[in-house]
């Protein structure tokens, strides 16, 4: 399997060199730990060294927890040496988006306005990862209050997309720092949230695997809310199997999140290697793909051809509504619910919230309860219509994003960065974003594998088949 490749250390000592560790998958790191080729302490030191050296430029981290990470790694090494292995993620570091509570650390969600969130208990998802033995390296930067897809944050600073070290390009948002940290080898994996593409867009633009999980699979307790109708928790990783490993660890009932009460138990790794022979996959028609840049379209078509070569059939379908209608409906719901949860921070005339984000939140104040209820009814009808259109298909395949990452100084905040982000949340679906190659100027593109709610394992199975066929998907950015 791809994630179990072992090229051996360069120094002949039996230990893994830090450069290889930084760009290894979780599966590879787990294997190295089990073989005694590295230790948890060495992993933590390797990532902290890179973060301290490279992050002044990349700006991925809001905070590094060096002392606590080292202490946790030492404890993990002691436990592993004694034969107390609790699972494949034990002793492996991870970064978390600054929207997650961490006990004893202030949660700011990328804003100077949020000064009153001083949690005594970590977020449910963080506790699940720590129970699996993972070690939190630090919190990553994000779009203020997670309300934006470009990845920009004038208040706290915008992370630098590592695929172009000469030009400051957008990393995608809102989980911008999480994606940059993993892509640049400052963490082996990271936790993000996705309300309208906030895991998938940065995964696409930073050349990673990223997953918008089904609502209810991963508890959102201890996560600063933006739009609970659409909010979800998801991983950013270096392989599809890594995403499945994290989903397996993260899934479970959260007393603080009622959407988890009725969610089924899924087993994302059980059939992940079974291939996609006989699968039926939908693809959008020319009208819905009109916005896709030519080079992205070329890479996307090649990816579809690869899926067909694996035994799947690809069939064109037409969405019941236009991409623009899904974008508009989802955006209105986000504004209403963001005002409900964040309006108190945006209302004051002297609010430190960035004017762009403040306007998005305050827009929800002007949408009446009647209109909001109509929006929810429209959403339910759209979900029914989409389910009927997808009947008989295993997944819908769409571009990860319609464009490549642009320079920060060219961003128009009034234009949605990803035409194929918001409709997944609006329709209550799950989606896995995977890399499909680089353009001629070396910028990443991706595709999304969109599935029905709770069919996350199917998306991972399709993504894994594609990953195996290509001999791996996530590459190391040049210069890093």
What pTM does this model have?
0.95
pLDDT tops 80 at residue 19: no
SS3 233: strand
pLDDT value of residue 11: 40
Least confident of 15-29, 90-104, 292-306: 15-29
Q: What is the tens place of the pLDDT at every residue in 231-255?
A: 999 999 999 999 999 999 999 999 9
Q: Which residues are catalytic?
A: 97, 174, 198
Mean pLDDT of the chain: 95
pLDDT value of residue 1: 29
Category of 364 on φ-ψ map: left (φ > 0), alpha (ψ -120 to 50) or beta: alpha
Stretch 313-339: mean pLDDT: 95
CA distances 70 to 45, 61, 89, 290, Å, are 8, 17, 16, 50
Q: What is the tens place of the pLDDT at every residue in 394-413?
A: 999 999 999 999 999 999 99
pLDDT tops 60 at residue 13: no
Q: What is the tens place of the pLDDT at every residue in 122-154?
A: 999 999 999 999 999 999 999 999 999 999 999
pLDDT tops 90 at residue 9: no
Return the closest-CA partner of residue 259 out of 220, 211, 224: 220
SS3 44: helix
Q: Are 174 and 151 in contact (CB under 8 A)?
A: yes
d(CA 94, CA 80): 18
pLDDT tops 60 at residue 218: yes
The domain spans of the chain are 17-321+385-470, 323-383
Looking at domain 17-321+385-470, its CATH architecture is Alpha-Beta Complex (3.90)
Q: What is the tens place of the pLDDT at every residue in 31-66?
A: 999 999 999 999 999 999 999 999 999 999 999 999
Stretch 445-450: mean pLDDT: 98
The model's confidence at residue 18, banded by pLDDT at 50, 70 and 90, is: low
CA 265 to the chain's CA centroid: 21
Return the closest-CA partner of residue 408 out of 178, 127, 57, 170: 170
pLDDT tops 70 at residue 2: no
pLDDT value of residue 20: 82
Q: Are 238 and 272 in contact (CB under 8 A)?
A: no
Pairing type for strands 280-284 and 395-399 reads parallel
């Amino acid at each position: 399997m791809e994630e179990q490749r072992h090229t051996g250390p360069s120094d002949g000592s039996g230990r893994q060199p830090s450069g290889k560790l930084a760009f290894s998958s979780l599966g590879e790191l787990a294997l190295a730990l089990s073989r005694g080729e590295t230790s948890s302490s060495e992993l933590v030191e390797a990532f902290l060294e890179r973060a301290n050296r490279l992050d002044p430029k990349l700006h991925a981290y809001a905070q590094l927890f060096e002392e606590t990470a080292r202490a946790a790694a030492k404890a993990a090494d002691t436990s592993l040496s004694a034969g107390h292995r609790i699972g494949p993620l034990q002793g492996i570091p991870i970064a978390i988006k600054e929207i997650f509570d961490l006990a004893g650390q202030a949660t700011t969600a990328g804003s100077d306005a949020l000064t009153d969130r001083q949690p005594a208990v970590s977020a449910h998802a963080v506790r699940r990862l720590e129970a699996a033995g993972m070690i939190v390296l630090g919190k990553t930067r994000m779009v203020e209050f997670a309300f934006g897809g470009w990845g920009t944050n004038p208040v706290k600073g915008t992370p630098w997309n590592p695929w172009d070290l000469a030009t400051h390009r957008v990393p995608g948002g809102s989980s911008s720092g999480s994606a940059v940290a993993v892509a640049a080898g400052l963490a082996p994996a990271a936790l993000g949230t996705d309300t309208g593409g906030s895991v998938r867009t940065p995964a696409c633009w930073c050349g990673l695997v990223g997953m918008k999980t089904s609502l209810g699979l991963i508890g959102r307790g201890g996560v600063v809310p933006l739009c609970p109708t659409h909010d979800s928790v998801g991983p950013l990783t270096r392989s599809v199997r890594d995403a499945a490993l994290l989903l397996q660890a993260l899934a479970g009932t959260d007393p603080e999140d009622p959407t988890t009460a009725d969610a089924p138990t899924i087993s994302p790794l059980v059939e992940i290697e079974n291939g996609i022979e006989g699968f039926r996959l939908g693809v959008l028609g020319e009208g819905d793909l009109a916005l896709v840049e030519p080079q992205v379209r070329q890479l996307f078509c090649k990816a579809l051809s690869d899926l067909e070569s694996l035994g799947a059939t690809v069939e064109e379908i037409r969405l019941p509504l236009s991409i623009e209608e899904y974008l508009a409906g989802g955006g209105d719901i986000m504004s209403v619910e963001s005002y409900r949860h964040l309006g108190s921070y945006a209302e004051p005339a002297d609010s430190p919230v960035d004017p762009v984000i403040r306007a998005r939140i305050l827009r929800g104040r002007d949408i009446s309860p009647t209109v909001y209820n109509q929006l929810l009814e429209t959403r339910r009808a759209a979900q029914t219509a989409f389910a009927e259109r997808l009947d008989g298909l295993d997944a819908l395949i769409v571009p990860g994003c319609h464009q490549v990452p642009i320079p920060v100084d060219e961003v128009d905040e009034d234009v949605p960065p990803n035409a194929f982000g918001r409709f997944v949340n609006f329709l209550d679906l799950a989606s896995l974003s995977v890399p499909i190659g680089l353009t001629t100027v070396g910028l990443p593109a991706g595709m999304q594998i969109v599935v029905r709610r709770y069919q996350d394992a199917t998306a991972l199975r399709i993504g894994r088949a594609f990953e195996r066929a290509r001999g791996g998907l996530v590459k190391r950015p040049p210069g890093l």
